[in-house]
Amino acid sequence: MANVALDNIAATYSGANFNELFLEPIFRDSDLMQFRVIPNVKFKMNLYTADALSCIVKKYTTCGGAESGDFNVNDKVITAGRMRVAVSQCQDAFFGTYLEESFRNGVNVMNLEGTALMDTILQNVRNGISEDIIKLAWFGDTAEAGSNASCYDSTDGWWKLFIADAVIDARKVTIANSGAFATGDALIALRAMWAAAPSALQGVDSREKAFYVSRLVYDDYMTSLENLGNAEGFSQLVDGSMKLYFRGVEVIPMYTWDVATAQRLITDNVRIAYVAKQNLAVGTDTNDPEGEMKMFYDDLTEKVYVRAYFKLGLQFLHDSLVQIGY
């Protein structure tokens, strides 16, 4: 059972000088709500897709002529794993610190419910759930057996599904890992991804797709833009940019990928996923796993407990709308 990690709450305390606990920032990668969210998935659900029709407009010949074609319906299964969040906190960790200012009095002193400190603890739990869901969505693997297996073995994420698909993996772009990645490789990789991508993906509106990239790719691509040697490059260097684009498609840094590949000891740790956003499916039984938490205090253990339960499963619909590089 996890405790809330609140580091550097120095014991040196000289009164009510502080009124805020500073949480360690979490990575704010892309929110899963931009993808296709499938609600009410309790265990498994079939996702049905139909191939695009082609060559169905033909010359009229006679009544009752040959049919032009029919729908080719495919199905994929999204399996939602059971997720559990179990965090507890004893108040002892905060005695002798400035956080005592938020404690209740008398017989309720050990109960953190309703205090400003409890609000901070809950926010820290929400942040942790958010980051973990992103890591699971991309790097979950039910076969994971490493030292951090319990962080990733609850469901299969998109990277496992992509690589397991023979069609997608056959056209992958090979990208050097972090030990061999050289300056300028990001631009080379993005160009190769563009060239290898299926026509169906290229035909998707640029606003409805994205390049999701490891930090090394993002930083190197930014450097390439800074080195353009013109006014645009100078502006990029001095002012930076809230968003980067390649040929009109947004390039999104996925900082949690670096955490996940390090925790899982994945050597192919520099990656790009060029995808149509609505082609990636997220199955869940709740619309807000970060918000649907319950909290309670136990007089016997003198601890506050936080619990959350939800289902999470990942899938993609069409292999023609996915291009990967690693």
User: What is Dmax (Cα atoms) for the chain?
Assistant: 95
Domain definitions of the chain by residue range: 2-51+71-325
Distance CA 197, CA 324 (A): 9
Sign of the torsion formed by the C-alpha atoms of 133, 136, 142 and 147: negative
Residue pair 121/89 in contact by the 8 Å Cβ criterion: yes
Structure tokens at 140: 């979950």
User: pTM for this structure?
Assistant: 0.82
Beta strands in the chain (DSSP E): 2-3, 36-38, 44-50, 73-79, 81-90, 209-213, 244-246, 249-253, 272-276, 280-284, 294-298, 303-316, 322-325
pLDDT of residue 107: 80
% of residues, the chain, pLDDT over 90: 51
pLDDT digit string (tens) for 261-293? Answer: 999 999 999 999 999 999 999 999 887 776 678
pLDDT of residue 241: 64
3-class SS at 63?
coil
Any residues with CB less than 8 A from the CB of 165 and at least 6 apart, and which?
319, 322
3-class SS at 32?
helix
Structure tokens at 48: 């049905």
Give exposure, 260-276, as e/b (b: 16+ Cβ within 10 Å): bbebbebeebbbbbbbb
Among 130-139, 189-198, 288-297, where is mean pLDDT lowest?
288-297
Residue pair 294/308 in contact by the 8 Å Cβ criterion: yes
pLDDT digit string (tens) for 58-83? Answer: 777 778 767 766 666 677 889 999 99
Cα 261–Cα 265–Cα 266 angle in degrees, nearest 5: 55
SS3 content of the chain, % helix, strand, coil (to 5): 35, 25, 45
The arithmetic mean of pLDDT across residues 233-248, rounded, is: 76
Give the other-Cβ count within 10 Å of 35's Cβ: 20
pLDDT of residue 16: 39
DSSP 287: S
Distance CA 74, CA 8 (A): 54
Where residue 40 falls among pLDDT bands split at 50, 70, 90?
A: confident
Among the listed residues 283, 302, 318, the one whose alpha carbon sits nearest the alpha carbon of residue 82: 283
Where residue 53 falls among pLDDT bands split at 50, 70, 90?
A: low
Distance CA 213, CA 272 (A): 4
